[in-house]
Chains A and B, each alone.
Chain A
Amino acid sequence: MTLALVLLLILIGFAAGTFGALAGIGGGVIITPLLAIYFGLPMHQAIGVTLLCVIATSTATSSLYVERHVTDVRLGMTLELATTVGALIAALVAHSINRRTLAILFACFLLYSAGSMIKKAWRSRNAEREETIPDYTPQNYPIGLAASLLAGGFSGLLGIGGGPIKVPVMYLFMKVPLRVAAATSNFMIGVTAATSAYIYWGHGDVRIDIAAPLVAGVFAGSLLGARISPKVRSFYILLLLIGIAGWLAIQMIYKLLTGGFQ
């Protein structure tokens, strides 16, 4: 592994960590396709490495969001019961599902999250930033737990934290304020990703030479992202992420149509 490659991976991690921390989505959406398409890693290895990056984003950002009392720790722990079961089941069956199916699932997921971010951006285009968190009581726990089971499953299959599923569910169905939902999702994805990561690590699917520089970059980027988040208008970050996710989805679909990921 050349020094230039190590530096490139650190830079990619830094960018993914910063944007992931700002948008509250972990950054797996950026890293897995990059590793699969441009570094030629098999899907299982790309996901194994990404799971470590998701843990890094979650740990770094949560250390700040929990300290500022933005995270709802009790709600997070409850939903983790469902996400970890989902992640466990998915990681166990991931090796019997072929790569093409995983890649198709990932492309669908990229399009879905691009769509939900476009909606979010449209709504927040003129929104004022919430300065204080309003009082709330989480509602509809059954729907929240069911969605968390699904989100955990996606994490195990695709190497992502499932944030783009959990955040809207907590916000729309459980009536949790958006900032709390994003911070709580960020808190949960570390444990969910770890559940799958142990299984990928056991299968030897975590490439340490690639994971180490990426994780170092993600750490630094996430800490920066969490610190500057109150000062940046999320509208612009959402636009950027929509562009990245949409573009990667197109690349992935193109590779699938031309017979890639066999």
Chain B
Amino acid sequence: MNRQDVAADRVLSLTLKAGAYTAFALIAAGLLLRIIMPLGSKITTAGLLVLLATPVLRIIAACIQFFRERDLKYALVSLGVLGIVILAYCLGIQA
């Protein structure tokens, strides 16, 4: 395992952690709040949206990291995956 792999793994695990804990905190807060007031369901929805966005953020983070490492092959692979996911997102909105 070389130093670049270690750096990429750190960037990716930080992105995943940030997404996971933010989504979890929002969903948990929303569920608790909903017992006392109606605002809860909006916070819950926000949490689910953070959850939906996290895989995309993780692809973007990987893409940036591979470009920084001058690893063009995997930077392009990440861009390709990102393109397909964005296409799915656009189709989902239209449907």
A interface with B by C-beta (< 8 Å): 3, 6, 52, 55-56, 58-60, 62-64, 66-67, 69, 71, 73-74, 77-78, 80-81, 84-85, 87-88, 91-92, 190-191, 193-203, 206, 208-209, 211-213, 215-216, 219-220, 223
Contact = CB atoms under 8 A, between A and B. Distances in A.
B62 A73 contact: yes
A49 B25 CA distance: 19
Interface string B6-21: 1011101100110110
Contacts of A78: 74, 77
B88 A198 contact: yes
Contact of B81 (A71, A81, A203, A220): A81
B85 A194 contact: yes
Interface in B45-95: 45, 47-48, 51-52, 54-56, 58-59, 62, 74, 77-78, 80-81, 84-85, 87-89, 91-95
Given A59-B54, A63-B13, A212-B30, 10 more contacts: A56-B23, A78-B77, A84-B88, A88-B87, A195-B85, A199-B92, A206-B48, A208-B44, A216-B24, A219-B27
B75 to A, nearest CB: 10
Given A74-B74, A78-B77, A84-B84, A67 B58 contact: no
A163 B17 CA distance: 21
Contacts of B5: 69, 73
B78 A77 contact: yes
B37 interface: no
B49 to A, nearest CB: 9
Given A59-B51, A198-B52, A80 B74 contact: no
A219 B23 contact: yes
Chain B, interface residues (CB within 8 Å), range: 35 or more
Given A67-B9, A212-B48, A81 B55 contact: no
A87 B88 contact: yes
B87 to A, nearest CB: 7
A199 B84 CA distance: 13
A91 B88 CA distance: 9
A103 to B, nearest CB: 22
Nearest to A60: B20
19 contacts: A52-B48, A56-B20, A58-B55, A59-B58, A84-B85, A190-B55, A191-B55, A191-B81, A194-B52, A194-B55, A194-B56, A194-B85, A198-B88, A203-B95, A209-B41, A211-B48, A215-B48, A216-B27, A219-B24
B9 to A, nearest CB: 5
A212 B31 CA distance: 8
Contacts of A193: 55
Contacts of B24: 216, 219-220
A198 B35 CA distance: 28
B39 interface: no
B84 A215 contact: no
A203 B41 CA distance: 19
A190 B13 CA distance: 13
Nearest to B53: A194
Contact of B31 (A55, A91, A201, A213): A213
Given A191-B55, A219-B23, A69 B9 contact: yes
Contacts of B55: 55, 58-59, 190-191, 193-194
B9 A196 contact: no
